[in-house]
Each structure stands twice: as C-alpha cells, then as structure tokens.
Amino acid sequence: MVRYSLDPENPTKSCKSRGSNLRVHFKNTRETTQVIKGMHIRKATKYLKDVTLKKQCVPFRRYNGGVGRCAQAKQWGWTQGRWPKKSAEFLLHMLKNAESNAELKGLDVDSLVIEHIQDNLGIMDKQSELINGETSTSINFINEKIDLLVVDL
C-alpha cells in the first residue's frame, strides 16, 4: 500500500487520489495546485477547464522568473500568469478520479472540498541520443507525484 503525505482526520468522510510518474512540468503543476487548494471540487474542475480554454490564468507566484504578465492575473491580486494546459488536464483527471472514489464511498460530491494537494518531484528518466555519429548526449525528464485529499463538509 502506498503511503500518502497526509492522513485525513475523519477517514469515513474523505477520499484520496494519487498520480505518480506523471510527465508534466513540476513548476507549472506546483502553481496550479496552489490555486485549487481549498476550492470546492466543482469550482476547481470549472477553473481547470477554463485554464485549458485560456479563459482564466494560473498566477505564478514562486516560480515566476521569465513569466510574462497577463491581465487575467489581476483577479488573483498578481501580475504574472500562464495557462499550463498539460498540468490542468492531469489535475482534471485526478479530480475526476477523486470524485468517483467519493461516489463509491457514498459521499456527497457537491460538497467536496480539496483539503490537501501536494506535488513532489519523482524519478528522473534519462534518455540518450546519438546525433550525427557523435557521442551520446543525455536528456533528463523529471516525473512527478501528486497526492490529493478531498473532504466532505
């Protein structure tokens, strides 16, 4: 069994979801998870769908070097933002998984709140390429692990 980063206070009124070895950018996913933490699950899914359609942006607060400014970040009290589509799609799949886990437990899906979400760097994959008969050059891909805890209010 996999160990989660946080155990719920009331296990009967909460459910978990986990993604591991995800091929997404860590910094984009970290900023996206910080925005949806504490949201209701319906509001979070709507927000992530709007991010993929570029109707709302994700404010970049920590990893914001070289990030351009956008007007949509004003609603979050910030100036810099992006639309990380791949991270939003992976988080949408995780929210859908948590929602189905809640239905299986018999929880009310409309009153679910994201209590805890955490993303960590995972295993680094190395891929080597031979270019024009030269020696091998290695490319590093960092996978990611995400823990999600949803609580029924």
| pLDDT over 90 at 121, yes or no | no
Q: What is the pLDDT of residues 44-77, one digit of tens each?
A: 999 999 999 999 999 999 999 999 999 999 999 9
- In a domain, residue 1? The reply is no
* Average pLDDT of span 112-137: 77
> How does residue 128 score in pLDDT terms, banded at 50, 70 and 90?
low
Give a yes or no: residue 5 inside a domain.
no
Backbone angles phi, psi at 92, to 5 degrees: -60, -40
- Tell me what the mean pLDDT of segment 15-39 comes to: 92
pLDDT band at 131 (very low <50, low <70, confident <90, very high): low
What value does the mean pLDDT take over residues 72-89? 95
Total count of domains within the chain: 1
Q: Are 18 and 2 in contact (CB under 8 A)?
A: yes
Structural domain that includes position 40: 14-152
Which range is least confidently modeled, 18-27, 37-46, 130-139?
A: 130-139
Instruction: Flag whether 52 is in a domain.
Output: yes
Asked if the model's pLDDT at residue 132 lies above 80, the reply is no
Where do the H-state alpha helices sit in the chain? 26-36, 41-52, 85-105
Q: How high is the pLDDT of residue 37?
A: 94
CATH number at residue 31: 3.90.470.10
Asked whether residue 73 is domain-assigned, the answer is: yes
**69 assigned to some structural domain:** yes
9 part of a folded domain: no
pLDDT at 92: 96
pLDDT number for residue 7? 81
CA 58 to chain CA mean position, Å: 11
At residue 54's C-alpha, the angle toward residues 50 and 59, to 5°, is 85
